[in-house]
Amino acid sequence: MSDVWIAGAGMTRFGKREETLQDLMAEAALAALRAASVEAPEAIVVAAMNPEEFVGEGNFATHFATHLGFAYVPALRVETATSSGAAALFTGFAAIAAGLRRSVLVVGGEKMTHLSTPRVSELISRSIDPHERSYGATMPALAGLVTRTLMAGHGVSLREISQVSVKNHAHGALNPFAHFQSRVTLEEVLESRVVADPLRLFHCCPISDGAAAVVLTAEGTGIRIAGIGQGADYLAVRYRDNLTSFRATQAAAEAAYRMAGFGPERVDVAEVHDAFAPFELIALEDLGLVPSGKAAPVTMSGETALDGRLPVNPSGGLKARGHALAATGLAQVAELVWQLTGSATGRQVEARVGLAHSIGGLATNNWVTLLERAA
């Protein structure tokens, strides 16, 4: 298996954007190609969760390739719900690792804010088991069920959960690409309206437009993909016997660490999928970054803040950077590339190894990617 390198990364600012999906993807792709000094990639992998419904366009890989002037470059689309960006990275990685390609442009994006919030929620909830959906289960509803078991069974408090939002907003305030670039207080989080009891509005990520891209190459640059792993779980949440850890995260992490040949002790910085604030606490333990039962106390003590021992979500996470679905997994990787190369101006941490964690659906199809800066 050949080494796979990230030669360049780019993204748009997340948020409410007026551009088309293909223009957002083009902006991110051109930034990544420029950073990589690659004029034209050998292949393109596109991630978009649901362009058919969100923007009314199908055959989206060819649509994007033609739009950007790469009509003759082979392109394909990858989808694993909200982790599609990470899945696209894996597809590009596999092509280079197998020696089939020398360079691949991986780009993900989503455009949703032109639709009403109930319509967007309905489209996202189609990634939930149909029977559970027939009971009115939405992503926040399932996350509400998870949150209550975390609080009842593990003694995690709403205050501790809310601190994740406070921290990630503080990070987002320093990131020019973030959807929300403002701080929030613990009181504001705790007093925001109830969405899915006990979850409140400021525990939930926003609906964002945006795109992110990386260029992968077989030639060595500064940043290597050391490991990449996928983990699976039941579509139906009711089939699982444990709601306070995600098997799909644990399996993805195990596979990524095995490929990398090192464990969580070498991770210096992490971007994790905090679509709902309690998910960051669950992720820290599932990824082995903190011991079982310690995620809440390390968050309260500031260990996961920018100046802490293990900065988590320096970009602001899904909560503040935003969640443009298929763009998110690649935006996490872009942030890590900038952190590892010392170009995360204003929010720079000291790191050699970074971990990205992406959740598809309600933790049905998760990915963990490990990046390492060459010594």
Partner 1 sequence: MDRIQGSRCPRCLRVLAPPARFCPDHPVAMEPVELHGYGDVISFTTLHSPPEGFRSPLHIALVELPAGARIFCHGSETKLLRVGRRVAVEAVDQVFYFSHLGLADRARLFWRRAGDRGERVTAMAKSVVKRLFRGPKDETTEAP
Measured CA distances, 279 to 6, 29, 285 (Å) = 28, 29, 10
Cβ(67)–Cβ(26) below 8 Å: yes
Cβ(180)–Cβ(65) below 8 Å: no
Shortest Cβ 281–partner 1 spacing (Å): 16
Cβ(92)–Cβ(45) below 8 Å: yes
Shortest Cβ 150–partner 1 spacing (Å): 9
Nearer to partner 1, 40 or 194 (CB): 194
Nearer to partner 1, 40 or 152 (CB): 152
Nearer to partner 1, 187 or 197 (CB): 197
Pick the closest to residue 111 from 37, 169, 149, 54 (CA basis).
54
Shortest Cβ 250–partner 1 spacing (Å): 17
Pick the closest to residue 138 from 129, 149, 125, 151 (CA basis).
125
Shortest Cβ 301–partner 1 spacing (Å): 27
Residue 200's φ and ψ, nearest 5 degrees, are: -110, 170
Cβ(322)–Cβ(210) below 8 Å: yes
Token duo for residue 271: 């971007």
Cα 34 to chain centroid distance, Å, stands at 23
Residue 197's φ and ψ, nearest 5 degrees, are: -40, 125
Pick the closest to residue 100 from 74, 80, 125 (CA basis).
74
Shortest Cβ 239–partner 1 spacing (Å): 5
Residues that bind partner 1 (CB under 8 A): 118, 121-122, 125, 131-132, 135-138, 140-141, 144-146, 148-149, 152-153, 193-199, 234, 236-239, 243
Token duo for residue 249: 């995260």
Residue 363's φ and ψ, nearest 5 degrees, are: 60, 45
Nearer to partner 1, 24 or 196 (CB): 196
Shortest Cβ 149–partner 1 spacing (Å): 5
Nearer to partner 1, 137 or 228 (CB): 137
Nearer to partner 1, 47 or 195 (CB): 195
Nearer to partner 1, 47 or 281 (CB): 281
Shortest Cβ 148–partner 1 spacing (Å): 5
Cis omega before residue 198 (within 30°)?
yes
